[in-house]
Structure formats: C-alpha cells, structure tokens
Amino acid sequence: MVENEDFTAAYDRWPVEHSTRITILTRTGEKLVGETGGDKDDLSMPKSDDEIAKKFRGLTEGSLNTQRADALMDSFMAPRRLGSRV
C-alpha cells in the first residue's frame, strides 16, 4: 500500500472526501485500476431519505424481511423527519 497525499488531504478537509484507488498488476502484466470517492456517492455527501432507504434496502435485502426492514427504517429515519441531524 502507498499513501496518496491528495487523498489524505481530501480526508483532512471539511467536508471530508473518502477516496480510494486500487491498482492491480496481473501475472500477464495487465494493469487494472479502480477508483472511488469524491463524487455524489461519497460517504460524507448529504443523502436524501430516498437514497438512504434505497441503499439500506439493497444492503439488507438478503437478510431482513420487508416488515423488519420497514421497522428499522422507521426507527432510524424518525429523527430526520423531526428535523434532527443524523
């Protein structure tokens, strides 16, 4: 692993940006690069209630039934509906 100083600086700013780049060199010499962060999907970017619900349901789809997922969504979204910051 090698630190990317630009990514570290972005993490130290406000709002925080979470950036990651992974580079893989295959046995055949092919170089594969994947990068994420700094866009609307960044962890620190504000999300709408619909975006949060979609992500939650996608992550819990295989382990929670709809009724349980709805109950959990209601419990952690209630403060947002009351105007509290989450």
Q: What is the pLDDT along the chain (86 residues), one digit of tens a residue?
A: 788 898 888 888 877 778 888 999 999 999 999 988 767 766 677 788 888 888 888 889 889 998 999 899 888 887 766 665 54
Could you give the residue ranges of the DSSP H alpha helices within 1-86?
A: 5-12, 49-60, 66-81
* Count of residues making up the chain: 86
Spell out the domain ranges in the chain.
5-36, 49-81
Long-range CB pairs of 46-53 (<8 Å, 24+ gap) are: 49/77, 49/80, 52/77, 53/77
